[in-house]
Each structure stands twice: as structure tokens, then as C-alpha cells.
Amino acid sequence: MSRAPADVHELPGGEILAQGLADLAEGRRSASALLLRMAAPRLARLGIEIEPPDPGEECELELYRLLLAESPADAYGRYNAWLRRLASLCHALEARAARVTAPGGPSPRGCGAAPRSASTRGRA
């Protein structure tokens, strides 16, 4: 299993990755751990190895049941909020990977693109 990047807490949803990896290492079935298992294939493409769910394992349903047991009145809203937070984390990791792998590496401006010269401005 992978370790969380050092700057994980700077990313939106970074707490999910840090806590989920810790919980998975300890064998805990927390919301964060279940979310990481749900996103295992996507995270693997980013170099973060998580054991994927077994065939027939329904992490989504298990997460919902966990949230339902904690607070039945708002389980649905919390479930959707967790999924949005996971999507934000994956998008942030993908954006960072794209910046790092772009020709010339990360841009000092943070957008991953080299500044355009005066001679190329206005051209598509």
C-alpha cells in the first residue's frame, strides 16, 4: 500500500487520503478507507496503490450503511458530501500529476503552461 504524499493536507480532500491510508493499514473500515477502496483504480493511475475492492464487495453501500448508523437523518447528504470531497481529491491529484508531467515541468505560475512569447500571442 502507498504512503500519502508529504503535501497531502494542502490538497482539497487530502485528509481523506491521509486518514484512509492510516485506517486501511490498521484494518479499519472507516468512511475514508471505504472511499479510497472505491477510488482504487483511479488512484493507482496516479501512483497511489490501494487494494481494490474484491469482486462483489460493495464499498458504496457499506459507506452509506456506516453513515446511516451514525446519523440516519442526514446520511444521504453526508454520503454525497463524502463523494464530492473524494472527487475533489482525485481532481487535485490529477491536476498536480499533469503539471509535473507537462513538458518543462511545473510552471512558476502554477498552471503548467509556459508563458507565450509576444510573437505567438493572438495565434491559435
**9 has a pLDDT exceeding 80:** no
3-state SS track over the chain = CCCCCCCHHHCCCHHHHHHHHHHHHHCCCCHHHHHHHHCHHHHHCCCCCCCCCCCCCCHHHHHHHHHHHHCHHHHHHHHHHHHHHHHHHHHHHHHHHHHHHCCCCCCCCCCCCCCCCCCCCCCC
Q: For residue 20, what is its C-alpha cell?
A: 484512509
- Condensed to tens digits (0 to 9), the pLDDT of residues 33-59 reads 999 999 999 999 998 999 888 888 999
pLDDT for position 25 = 94
Band (pLDDT 50/70/90 cuts) for residue 8 is confident
Cα four-point dihedral sign 94, 97, 99, 101: negative
More confident residue, 19 or 110: 19
CB atoms within 10 A of CB 86: 23
pLDDT in tens, 63-122: 999 999 999 999 999 999 999 999 999 999 999 888 877 665 544 333 333 334 444 444
What is the pLDDT at residue 6? 63
